[in-house]
Amino acid sequence: MLIRELLAKKKVTDLREIAKASGLKGYSKLKKDDLTSLIEEAIINEEYVQKVVFFANNRELALFERKLTENVPFVEDDIISYLYMYKSLFYFMNEENPDENEFLIPDDIKALYEKVFTKEFKSKRDRFQLVADYIVANANMYGMVPVEQVVKTFNEQNKTQTNGEEVLKVYNLISGVKQIFYKLVDGQFVHEAVLEENGMSILAGKQGNKPYYVPSKEILINYAREEYFERSMAFEALVAFLEHNVIEDDILTEKICTEIQYLYCFGEELQQGITVLEDYGIEMEEDQLKIVIDLLVNVYNNSRFWENRGFSPVEMNAIENVDAAVGISANNTIEKAKKVGRNDKCPCGSGKKYKFCCGK
């Protein structure tokens, strides 16, 4: 089905909203046929299709390419991957079966995509998206990170080097086209969650001169996905225990444990894990609760914190102990880390020793 036919199924008010969102001019007094022609002309051209595809991230483009050749049923978890190209009119809702939430791709968009996606275009887009992924991944990894650190990590992990000029150019282009969750402030990429109130100064104070945890390229790129976190053995142990002994619903268990993990990664206190379980109405026997608390402590200890620049409390504790022992600055990476000792400060921030607090 052509885009004109899909637009014809919409009301005039909807078409005007589309024209407004697309930045078109002179649409307010047009009749339906003229509105349809105006939108069609703006979209069905090589320049527009190239622009949309160029700025689509890899997940968005991969989903689009799958739908070009096969029937991909709508999955709610994929909604984020649909939104950008849906707003760009690369997708239309199936008006004949609206309850199925199925997305259709106009035939003329398909044809133009095949035409513009040349080898040369792909090469330029891949480079742009790689730099963009490093920006997003670093913002997600650390909460806030200097441009220079993004450049440093990129150059350590890629043969073709970058520089601050290219990184800033990519950021400026993306921020002018797509809605993003981070901003450039005083030479740093800052996650929107840190921009509230005095978030930057508070986080800067906690990070201090701590080194950066820099994972392998394969892991780091995953952080370009907002919902990603590294699934530690401690996290898997919590999931397994709750699923087999308490909740017995793998989907709900995964949802709850993921929510707890997100809270810990954002710097929430240890007891928030119990609060989440209570909010979901999860009831436990006393012996089960004791086991779950121990498991939560391990999840917390092995969570990657913004205030530690990506290091977990376990790793940070090991770094600080090494520094104190040898009197030198810590390295930027760590391969082996020890558990929080019973006489160490509790990672929940209470100021008490672990054995008198969460380690009881």
pLDDT digits (tens, 9 = 90+) for 136-159: 999 999 999 999 999 999 999 999
* Structure confidence at residue 326 as a pLDDT band (50, 70, 90): very low
**Collapsing DSSP states into helix, strand and coil, what is residue 186?**
coil
Q: What is the mean pLDDT of the chain?
A: 88
Length of the chain: 360
**AA letter at 53:** V
pTM: 0.82
The answer to whether residue 78 scores a pLDDT higher than 80 is yes
- The residue among 148 and 350 whose pLDDT is bigger is 148
The burial of 271, by beta-carbon neighbours within 10 Å (0-12 exposed, 13-18 middle, 19 or more buried), is given as middle
**Looking at residue 267, what is its pLDDT?**
79
Mean pLDDT to the nearest integer, 255-278 = 92
Output the CA angle 36-38-40, nearest 5 degrees: 65
Residue 230 zone, left/alpha/beta (φ > 0; ψ -120 to 50; rest):
beta
pLDDT at 4 over 70: yes
Please enumerate in sequence order all residues whose Cβ is within 8 A of that of 13, keeping only pairs 6 or more positions apart, or say none.
none
* pLDDT computed for residue 349 by the predictor: 45
**E-assigned strands of the chain?**
92-93, 103-104, 144-146, 182-185, 188-191
Q: Is 281 left (phi over 0), alpha (psi -120 to 50) or beta?
A: left
Residue 230: helix, strand or coil by DSSP?
A: coil
Q: What mean pLDDT comes out for the span 157-174?
A: 97
Most confident of 25-39, 72-86, 153-167, 343-357: 153-167
Residue 348 has pLDDT above 90, yes or no: no
